[in-house]
Amino acid sequence: MTALNTAAIRAQFPALRREENGTAVAWFDGPGGSQVPHSVIDAISGFLAHGGSNHGGAFAASRDSEEAHETARGAVADLFGARPDDYVAFGMNMTSLSFALSRALAATWGPGDEVVVTRLDHDANIAPWLRAASDRGATVKWVPFDTISYRLDLEALADAVGPRTKVVAITHASNAIGTIVDIAEAARIAHSAGALIVVDAVHYAPHGLIDMAATECDFLMASAYKFFGPHIGAFAGRSSLLEELDAYKVRPSPASGPGKWETGTQSFEALTGVTAAVDHIAGLAPGEPTRRDQIAVAFAAIQDHALALGERFLAGLPGTATVFGITDDLTARTPTYAIELEGMSARRLATELGDRGIYVTDGNYYAVEVMRSLRRDDGGLVRIGFLHYTTEDEVDRLLNALHDLA
């Protein structure tokens, strides 16, 4: 079994050497965006320093950027466990890709058709579907999560889908409370009604192995800045469906292939960074025969690390702290903990921690339905996220600060 060498990982991330008031920063804001390793920074600056040209030119630098683009598609296909004939396309971020995909899918709907969304999702996988439904006169069905067990109610999902359901939009894991969703089961439910499934894997991507092929996702989206890469979004989906759909595009851009979904000039430098980010994850388990195998073994080690940190964190919390999320089975969640300290607003707690060089997020992190369901839509909660570069010492430092503040 591969174990993570956290010290060696940390040495690759220059931002982890940042200080605040003379103290090393402890970065617990990973669910909002991870830091990046040298390899990603070098890939991006190397591309720019070498001369980045646009696609379609009859010269080597242009062919280089086309190659960087194709290489990034291959890297993301490995990260997503995509089927050989899936398309991988890029865009500014997941939110813009989600609007593009929902708009194109909705063009095939009519009044009386239905779309299913969940209250566990980030708004980037809700609002585009609400808008698409209202544009087409379709009906929105909501699936709740259990506010005691913090699990998504898959029975409610099965009840929500029916013969008129066109799309089930669902998260792989909650960016607010960390709950992991059984995507294979959700896809089975969607497909049994003849609906498509669109999966938001933005939060899940740095924590666990995505497997589009095994889970039978039709479409899946993620953002590289959450998995140690630059700010760029990626999505993959069944090529047969993407060929049939009508993309909102300019006339001279490709009419077929993944390029049909990529509006305007892409950030080629960011694409080189995406490949480096995937290679960073794969590089955590270099002994395996293929990059996909390396990624799979790397995530097993990342999950072990997350479990150890999660247990330490939960065991050490002060009695006046409340965790909003799964605590009975840490394999059913990512190491993203939404907490509240009695008598203190989320903003105040985040500020106190920030002043101590401990970076956490507060508010709703655009998971507005989660906060509404938890009755925390006024001010939200403090979110603490662990990544592969998080150490036990950092968790202890956080716990000490929470005890002081409690």
Ligand X SMILES: Cc1ncc(COP(=O)(O)O)c(C=O)c1O
Give the nearest distance from C-beta 335 to ligand X in angstroms: 14
Task: Tell me which DSSP letter residue 181 carries.
Answer: P
* Those residues with Cβ within 8 angstroms of residue 45's Cβ, 6 or more apart along the chain or in another chain: none
Single out the segment in contact with ligand X by CB under 6 A; choices: 51-59, 198-206, 298-306, 312-320: 198-206
Q: Cβ atoms within 10 A of the Cβ of 200, count?
A: 30
Give the nearest distance from C-beta 170 to ligand X in angstroms: 11
- Residue from 64, 86, 114, 200 touching ligand X (CB under 6 A): that is 200
102 binds ligand X (CB under 6 A): no
Nearer CB in complex with ligand X: 65/334: 334
361 binds ligand X (CB under 6 A): no
Nearer CB in complex with ligand X: 92/296: 92
b or e along 307-333 (b: 16 or more beta carbons within 10 Å of the residue's beta carbon)?
ebbbeebeeebeeebebbbbeeebebb
Single out the segment in contact with ligand X by CB under 6 A; choices: 91-99, 179-187, 271-279, 370-378: 91-99
179 binds ligand X (CB under 6 A): no
Dig out the tokens for 255 from the structure: 């009419």
Query: CA-CA distances (angstroms) from residue 84 to 159, 309, 337, 398?
Result: 33, 36, 36, 44
122 binds ligand X (CB under 6 A): yes
208 binds ligand X (CB under 6 A): no
Alpha carbon 3 to its chain centroid, in Å, reads 23
Give the nearest distance from C-beta 232 to ligand X in angstroms: 8
Give the nearest distance from C-beta 175 to ligand X in angstroms: 3
Single out the segment in contact with ligand X by CB under 6 A; choices: 90-98, 182-190, 251-259, 300-308: 90-98
203 binds ligand X (CB under 6 A): yes
Give the nearest distance from C-beta 90 to ligand X in angstroms: 11
Tell me whether residue 20 is exposed, middle or buried, using C-beta atoms within 10 angstroms of its C-beta: 0 to 12, 13 to 18, 19 or more.
middle
Nearer CB in complex with ligand X: 12/93: 93
Single out the segment in contact with ligand X by CB under 6 A; choices: 63-71, 140-148, 195-203, 378-386: 195-203
Report, in angstroms and rounded to the nearest whole number, the Rg of the chain calculated over CA atoms: 21
233 binds ligand X (CB under 6 A): yes
138 binds ligand X (CB under 6 A): no
Nearer CB in complex with ligand X: 141/383: 383
Give start and end residues of each alpha helix (H) in 259-290.
268-282
202 binds ligand X (CB under 6 A): yes
Nearer CB in complex with ligand X: 175/275: 175
Nearer CB in complex with ligand X: 285/359: 359
| Contact by Cβ (8 Å): 332, 316 | no
DSSP assignment of 369-402 equals: HHHHHTT-TTT-EEEEE--TT--HHHHHHHHHHH
Q: How many residues make contact with ligand X (CB under 6 A)?
A: 12
93 binds ligand X (CB under 6 A): yes
352 binds ligand X (CB under 6 A): no
**Dist CA 229 CA 58 (whole Å):** 30
Give bridge partners of residue 165 from the DSSP assignment. Answer: 114
95 binds ligand X (CB under 6 A): yes
| Contact by Cβ (8 Å): 38, 9 | no
* Those residues with Cβ within 8 angstroms of residue 70's Cβ, 6 or more apart along the chain or in another chain: none
**Dist CA 401 CA 405 (whole Å):** 6
| Contact by Cβ (8 Å): 238, 86 | yes
Q: Rule CB under 6 A: which residues touch ligand X? A: 93-95, 122, 124, 171, 175, 200, 202-203, 223, 233
